[in-house]
Amino acid sequence: MQIGVPAESMAGETRVAVTPETAKKLTAQGHTVRVQSGAGVAASVTDAAYQAAGAEITDADGAFAADIVLKVRSPSDAEAARMKPGTVVIGMLNPFDAPGLQRLASAGLTSFALEAAPRTTRAQSMDVLSSQANIAGYKAVMIAADRYQRFFPMLMTAAGTVKAARVVILGVGVAGLQAIATAKRLGAVIEASDVRPSVKEQIESLGAKFIEVSYDTDEEKEAAVGVGGYAKPMPPSWLARQQVEVAKRVALADIVISTALIPGRAAPTLISEDMVKSMKAGSVIVDIAAGKGPDGIGGNCPLSEADKTVIKHGVTLVGETNLAALVAADASALYARNVLDFLKLVITKEGTLKIDLEDDIVAACRMTQDGQVTRT
């Protein structure tokens, strides 16, 4: 089959959906891989590296004219219009973006959003949320360390002792766990909060402390279990108790990394303005949920601003919304492997397209087909 790899057009998107490693595997399977010239440059991949892997370098028209188009982000209006009806598009298409899906359906595209894959063992190798959140958690700590005007580790020097940084992590999914691991490697003292008590063991195994909040009613206990591994909105009674515990830690913290999300809903508000005011001057908040809060600008903290770094009440708030794109080479390498694994589900050994809706991953990821939005 012809597989096209256009350059990403969204501002700040540096990743690419195919790397020389995956291009080599696809060409070895007999497919033609057409990469738009320059598509990998921001991810440190040259056209020559793709050619050495057996891919053809083409212009945008050549990449969009393929049977299967591999993307990082959902195609824009202009990009959707460049593809012929029936083209298969695979990428991070945002299953919650109804107008975006309608655009793909209207263009007659058959599309698969990899974020919609179930969080099962079989789907793990194509789990783009995990591969990219892992990078986001790492980069959030790197940015915090860069912005923070003190050390992370405790140091005993001839000029005196420096205290270890205190880090609070809010939301301990994939990004939060990696943030804990990264801050730990730098020598910080870490406490973490999540609505799901099942993460306590994971937090402790990484050398951090779980911020305990009791579950007092059946409603609270039931909500804390979540669904499919994801959090459900917690009752206000529990959130109020959590806020008291978190506020105490945030007031003492040097760094807060917040990652709390609930799929398909606004990110919960966990760091109020008063909590920011209680922090020491020079503290840093990296809000991975920026842009996903109730107003679409803030995140877990209403003072953060999507894609901006601002200083409020003496605290630096980093609202970078695409942290994975700041580690473009490795983010692309992992994403491209996720994509390659998904392709195995929709391309037969004989090299033809087969959309098997009996396969739970294929069915969950399919967003549009035959002019219809088919998202389940």
Residues at the site binding ligand NAD, with contacts judged by CB under 6 A: 119-121, 124, 127, 129-130, 133, 170-176, 193-196, 229-231, 234, 259-263, 268, 270
Among residues 9, 124, 198, 237, which one is catalytic? 124
d(CA 192, CA 81): 46
Smallest gap from residue 242 Cβ to ligand NAD (A): 6
Nearest 5°: the CA angle 16, 85, 59 is 40
Smallest gap from residue 325 Cβ to ligand NAD (A): 17
Smallest gap from residue 269 Cβ to ligand NAD (A): 9
Phi, psi of 191 (to 5 degrees): -125, 150
Residue with tokens 């491209």: 336
Dihedral class, residue 371 (left if φ above 0, else alpha if ψ from -120 to 50, else beta): left
CB of 150 or CB of 209, closer to ligand NAD: 209
Smallest gap from residue 254 Cβ to ligand NAD (A): 20
Output DSSP code: residue 248. H
119 is catalytic: yes
| Biggest CA-to-CA distance, the chain | 71
9 is catalytic: no
Is 190:207 a contact under the CB 8 Å cutoff?
A: yes
Q: Which residue from 297, 229, 241 is spatially nearest to 267, judged by alpha carbons?
A: 297
CA distances from 100 to 105, 284, 330 (A): 9, 34, 27
CB of 78 or CB of 227, closer to ligand NAD: 227
CB of 232 or CB of 313, closer to ligand NAD: 232
Among residues 51, 97, 119, 330, which one is catalytic? 119
Residue ranges with strand state E in 8-130: 32-36, 56-58, 68-73, 88-92, 110-113
Smallest gap from residue 267 Cβ to ligand NAD (A): 8
Name the residue with the smallest CB distance to ligand NAD: 173
CB of 79 or CB of 127, closer to ligand NAD: 127
130 is catalytic: yes
29 is catalytic: no
Among residues 34, 36, 82, 127, which one is catalytic? 127
51 is catalytic: no
Q: Which residues are catalytic?
A: 119, 124, 127, 130, 230
